[in-house]
Amino acid sequence: MKNYPLVSIIMLAYNSELYIKRGIISALNQDYKNIELLIIDSSPNKKTKEVADEIKDLRIKYHYIPNLEIGAARNAGIRFSTGKYITFLDSDDKYLPEKVKKQVEYLQDNSKYKIAYCNALHYYQNKPGVFYKKEICCKSGNVLYDLLETSLVNPNTIMFEKEVMKKVGLINESKYFPEDWDLCLRMAVEGYEFGYLNEDLVIVEMRENSNTTFDIQSKLKENAIIMFNSLKEKVDKEYGSAFNNIIFKTKRSLALAYLINNNKIMFSKTIFEIYNKGIVIQVIVFMVCLIPKEILRNIVIFTWKMKRKKSFGQVVKNDQR
């Protein structure tokens, strides 16, 4: 490695006192030592600070700014950061010890890239020894088409030069906005290529989706459509069909989200927007709307969960990572 530039690890905390310690330890125990860990705590209390204070390490920089949305909290961390490189770590997840070192080495050895990402292993809270990995095709280079198929980059896996933010702008601070996906898309739209490390360097905890999570899906999908339409205006026509395809898929998911929340009027309206309003579609929509609310919600949620699980492939059992 040519040198050891400072790396800023930005960790968001919201009522995280029960599990944040493992994330903090994983950041501080990196093989690469020249780091600063910026904890942005937006909790209604300072219990997370008590946990951070127990770990006496001068590299921890704690900032208490209550009631921030995710995008605003990430932006606060970026503003406070002093490192050449920025990376994120959610408070309930962790890095493997070589994560930061390998990404810094990769970016220094491949000067064409200002952004690097790696793989993440996922596990369910009730099965901590069984790990899964998303079955998606990752690559180096121009990933805009790939990002228009899926969010692709887990925010815990990305590292980028802070200078990149001057060109792409800060993170969207709207509530229930796909801000991490939006950031990667804007980086790609601005012409940045992504360097891919085909290594599992991050551990992500998954939780079975709660009712609250499903309740906000319609707003998330509405904002995603706004995001895609905004970015579509900034790229060449060659990407038009890819944007139209992801907007179509997102509207279809939006219709399901409306169903989950029993908003049958908006479900019908959205379906008629994306499909020809022929007699067959009208009959299908009519029949779906006759299904009782709770049965309909349970069917859609079950389908949604099954689709999510199919995107993962089991890779390791009883691993002691």
- 118 SS3 class: strand
CA 275/CA 287 separation, integer angstroms: 16
The per-residue pLDDT of the chain, averaged, comes to 90
Residues paired with residue 41 on neighbouring β-strands, in sequence order: 13, 64
pLDDT for residue 212: 54
pLDDT digits (tens, 9 = 90+) for 117-147: 999 999 888 777 889 888 788 999 999 999 9
pLDDT for residue 1: 53
Within a domain: residue 31?
Answer: yes
Question: What is the end-to-end Cα distance of the chain in Å, rounded?
Answer: 26
pLDDT for residue 316: 66
* 112-116, 193-197, 208-212: least confident range: 208-212
pLDDT for residue 192: 97
pLDDT for residue 168: 96
Same domain flag for 225 and 192: no
More confident residue, 208 or 164: 164
Within a domain: residue 115?
Answer: yes
pLDDT for residue 312: 75
Within a domain: residue 223?
Answer: yes
Same domain flag for 222 and 181: no
- CATH classification at residue 174: 3.90.550.10
pLDDT digits (tens, 9 = 90+) for 154-166: 999 999 999 999 9
Same domain flag for 215 and 200: no
- 148 SS3 class: coil
Same domain flag for 202 and 215: no
Within a domain: residue 195?
Answer: yes
Total domain count for the chain?
Answer: 2
Give the Cβ contact number of residue 175 at 10 Å: 13
Token pair, residue 18, equals 């029960």
Which residues lie below 8 Å from residue 182, measured CB to CB, with a gap of 6+?
171, 172, 227, 231
CA 136/CA 120 separation, integer angstroms: 12
If you average pLDDT over each of 9-13, 232-236, 297-301, which comes out highest?
9-13
pLDDT digits (tens, 9 = 90+) for 278-320: 888 889 888 888 888 888 888 877 887 777 777 777 676 555 4
Please provide the DSSP assignment of 37-88 as one string. Answer: EEEEE-SSS-HHHHHHHHS--TTEEEEE-TT--HHHHHHHHHHH--SSEEEE
Mean pLDDT of 84-90: 97
Q: Which strand (E) or helix (H) includes residue 137?
A: none
| End position of a domain, from candidates 159, 179, 207 | 207
More confident residue, 209 or 70: 70
Within a domain: residue 316?
Answer: no
Same domain flag for 225 and 86: no
Same domain flag for 54 and 140: yes
pLDDT digits (tens, 9 = 90+) for 64-79: 999 999 999 999 999 9
Within a domain: residue 33?
Answer: yes
Residue 257: CA atoms inside 13 Å, Cβ hemisphere, count? Answer: 20
| End position of a domain, from candidates 170, 186, 207 | 207
CA 74/CA 41 separation, integer angstroms: 11
Same domain flag for 198 and 266: no
Same domain flag for 178 and 254: no
Same domain flag for 13 and 152: yes
Give the domain range for residue 266: 211-311
pLDDT above 80 for 61: yes
| End position of a domain, from candidates 165, 183, 207 | 207
CA 224/CA 230 separation, integer angstroms: 10
Within a domain: residue 2?
Answer: no
Token pair, residue 207, equals 């939780």
Same domain flag for 86 and 185: yes
Same domain flag for 133 and 221: no
Same domain flag for 289 and 301: yes
pTM (2 decimals)? Answer: 0.91
Within a domain: residue 319?
Answer: no
* Pairing between β-strand 60-64 and β-strand 85-88 as defined by DSSP bridges: unpaired
Mean pLDDT of 172-181: 96
* 160-174, 181-195, 211-225, 236-250: least confident range: 211-225
User: Do 105 and 34 form a contact (C-beta atoms < 8 A)?
Assistant: no
* 43-57, 92-106, 154-168: least confident range: 43-57
